[in-house]
Amino acid sequence: MIPLILYDFPSKLEGNHWSPSITWSYRFALGYKNLPFRVEWVEYPDLAPRMKEIGAKPSKRLDGTEKYTLPVLSDPNTGALVTDSLEIAEYLEKTYLDKPIFSNKSKGLIRAFDSVVINLLLAAFKFPIVRTSEILNERSAEFYIATRETMFEEKFTELSAEGLKREEHWTNLERMFNTSQEWYDKEEGKWLMGDVFSYADIIVAAILFWLKRVLHDDEWEKIASWHDGKWAKLLVDVE
């Protein structure tokens, strides 16, 4: 079998990897399904020309202009080039049937869970965005900061400034994990669906991986302590 190709953003961190549901959710899914893959590293300023070169479809901004984003998965075995988070997960599920990640007709439930978690994360998003800029290579960091200032119409240094803004982001981040805990409490067992591992657990683990990689050690330890250490343990279990 020819290895699948994942496109990912490099960093200054050991091992390079850092990105959340953009790419790490698919690393977890590919690993769980025992599918071989390789990584092509793309710096942020080079993403659009590289995606145009391989024929990836752009997404649309609210103003109708096009933008290129990750994740993008290329499968040389089928010729497929797939974009969008859940579309990639569903492609892997229908193409490679072993070890399903959408068990028991759970796609609707997982889509609902994904929507809830991501919407809650957005309320705290600016804090890890600031930390992400610190671990990127210089060219990508400059591009990342400039584009986020345009996106949020705010100076980057003010996105999650120490004080009330940062406290609000911490509150919103904890609210996201409190809500996730409520979903997990609906079933017995360590996974969202009880004893059955699914893509929902991968969604949470990918966010945790991002936070662990980009936040400062004391900040990650704070998250790792919530709910009696549940989230740190879940990340270990998924990895």
pLDDT in tens, 176-214: 999 999 989 988 889 988 898 888 898 899 899 999 999
Mean pLDDT for 59-67 is: 74
- Write a three-state SS string for 109-148: HHHHHHHHHHHHHHCCCHHHHHHHHHHCCHHHHHHHHHHH
Q: Where in the chain is the domain with CATH 3.40.30.10?
A: 4-95
Most confident of 92-106, 119-133, 214-228: 214-228
- What is the reported pLDDT for 24? 65
Task: Look up the pTM and report it.
Answer: 0.87
Asked if 191 contacts 185 with a C-beta cutoff of 8 angstroms, the reply is: no
Cα–Cα distance for residue pair 152/148, rounded to 1 Å: 6
Residue 23 has pLDDT above 80, yes or no: no
Q: What is the pLDDT of residue 112?
A: 87
Of the candidate CATH numbers 3.30.70.890, 3.40.1480.10, 3.30.590.20, 1.20.1050.10, the domain formed by 103-238 belongs to 1.20.1050.10
pLDDT in tens, 106-143: 788 888 888 888 888 888 889 999 999 999 999 999 99
Q: Which part of the chain is CATH 1.20.1050.10?
A: 103-238
CATH value of 4-95 in 2.30.30.40, 3.60.15.10, 3.40.30.10, 3.40.50.2300? 3.40.30.10
Instruction: Note the pLDDT tens digit of each residue in 147-172.
Output: 999 989 999 999 999 999 999 999 99
Do the bridges between strand 66-67 and strand 80-83 make them parallel or antiparallel, or are there none, so unpaired?
unpaired
Euclidean distance between CA atoms 34 and 73, whole angstroms? 16
